[in-house]
C-alpha cells in the first residue's frame, strides 16, 4: 500500500494500513497514524525551521488528496479529509473530522475546531481561531493585519462554533463572528457579528436573525440553526446532541 514510486524517509513513523501514492514525498519528522491514505504527488512533513523540530502528526484515518503539502510542526486529529492542492503550514492545530477544500491554504499558527469544514480556495492566515463545526464556503478570505504591512501581533479573526461564512466573504482583522451566525455571500465583515444574526453587504450590516430564513423545501421550517436538518457526515453522537439541543425539523 506504499507506492514503490513514493519517497519515504526511513525515519518517518508510519502506522498500520497506511497508503501512500505515487511520487509522494514523506519526510523524516512525520507521524502518520493507522489507516491514513495519502494520494500521489503530495509532500508530507515539509521541513521548516519555524516548526522548531516538532513533527507533523496526522491522526488516524486521514484522507489527503493529491498535490497537497503538509508542513512539519502541525497536529491534526483523526479523520481529516482534504481536497487537492491543499497547503497546511507549520503549527496548525486541526481538530477531528475536519474537511479542507481544494486549493485551501492554512498559513500556520492557527487553530481549527472539530468537525469544521472549508470548501475550495479558502484562505486562513496565522493567528486565526476557528471553532467547532464551522462552515467556510468557497473563496472565504480571513485577514490578520490591520494596516498592512505590519507585524500583526494577535489580530486574527475569531469564528465561533457553528457559524457559516458564505462564498467570497472577506473578514477584517480581529473580528469575532458569533456562534451560529451567517455571513452572506460576497460580504466584507468590518464589525463583530452577534450570535444567531445574519449580516450581508460591503461593508456587512445586520439583516436579521438566522431563524427568519426558511428552508426552500416548502416545509415552512427555519433553515437555521442548520444543525436541525443537516447531518451528512457527522458522527451519530454529535447529531444526537444537536437533536437534543436544537430539535429535529423532521419531527417538529
Binding site for a second copy (CB under 8 A): 5, 7, 21-23, 25, 39-41, 43, 46, 66-67, 69, 83-85, 87, 102-103, 105, 107, 117, 120-121, 123, 125, 135, 137-139, 141, 143, 145-151, 153, 155, 164, 166-168, 170, 172, 185-186, 188, 201-202, 213, 215-217, 223-224, 226, 229-230, 232
**Residues sharing a CB contact under 8 Å with residue 240, sequence separation 6 or more, in sequence order:** none
Considering the complex, what minimum distance in angstroms separates the CB of residue 2 from a second copy? 14
Phi, psi of 104 (to 5 degrees): -80, 140
Q: Taking the CA atoms of the chain, what radius of gyration do you get in angstroms?
A: 19
If one counts every other C-beta atom within 10 angstroms of the C-beta of residue 1, the result is 9
Please say which residue, 154 or 240, places its beta carbon nearer to a second copy: 154
Is residue 209 within 8 A of residue 197, CB to CB? The reply is yes
State how far the alpha carbon of 207 is from the alpha carbons of 39, 121, 150, 159, 249, in Å.
43, 27, 33, 19, 24
Beta-bridge mates of residue 73? none
> Min. distance of Cβ 130 from a second copy in angstroms?
16
Task: Choose between 16 and 214: whose C-beta lies nearer to a second copy.
Answer: 214
Nearest to a second copy of 15, 35 (CB atom): 35
Measured from the CB atom, the residue of 2 and 215 that comes closer to a second copy is 215
Residue 33 or 145 having the CB closest to a second copy: 145
- Rounded CA separation 143/128 (Å): 8
CB 144 to a second copy: min, Å: 10
Q: CB of residue 69 vs a second copy: minimum separation in angstroms?
A: 5
Amino acid at each position: 500500500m506504499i507506492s514503490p514510486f513514493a519517497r519515504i524517509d526511513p525515519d518517518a513513523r508510519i502506522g498500520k494500513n497506511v497508503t501512500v501514492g505515487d511520487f509522494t514525498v514523506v519526510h523524516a519528522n512525520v507521524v502518520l497514524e493507522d489507516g491514513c491514505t495519502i494520494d500521489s504527488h503530495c509532500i508530507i512533513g515539509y521541513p521548516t525551521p519555524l516548526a522548531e523540530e516538532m513533527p507533523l502528526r496526522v491522526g488516524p484515518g486521514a484522507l489527503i488528496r493529491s498535490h497537497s503539502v503538509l508542513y512539519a510542526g502541525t497536529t491534526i486529529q483523526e479523520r481529516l479529509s482534504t481536497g487537492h492542492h491543499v497547503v497546511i503550514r507549520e503549527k496548525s492545530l486541526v481538530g477531528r473530522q475536519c474537511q479542507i477544500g481544494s486549493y485551501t491554504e492554512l498559513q500556520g499558527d492557527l487553530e481549527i475546531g472539530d468537525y469544521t469544514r472549508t470548501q475550495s480556495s479558502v484562505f486562513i492566515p496565522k493567528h486565526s481561531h476557528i471553532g467547532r463545526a464551522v462552515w467556510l464556503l468557497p473563496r472565504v478570505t480571513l485577514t490578520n493585519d490591520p494596516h498592512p504591512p505590519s507585524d500583526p501581533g494577535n489580530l486574527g479573526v475569531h469564528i465561533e462554533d457553528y457559524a457559516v461564512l458564505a462564498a467570497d466573504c472577506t473578514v477584517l482583522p480581529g473580528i469575532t463572528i458569533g456562534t451560529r451566525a451567517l455571513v452572506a455571500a460576497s460580504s466584507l465583515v468590518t464589525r463583530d457579528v452577534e450570535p444567531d444574526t445574519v449580516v450581508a453587504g460591503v461593508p456587512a450590516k445586520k439583516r436579521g436573525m438566522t431563524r427568519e430564513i426558511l428552508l426552500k423545501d416548502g416545509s415552512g421550517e427555519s433553515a437555521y440553526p442548520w444543525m436541525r436538518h443537516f447531518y451528512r457526515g457527522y458522527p451519530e453522537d454529535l447529531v444526537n446532541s444537536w437533536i437534543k439541543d436544537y430539535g429535529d425539523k423532521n419531527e417538529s
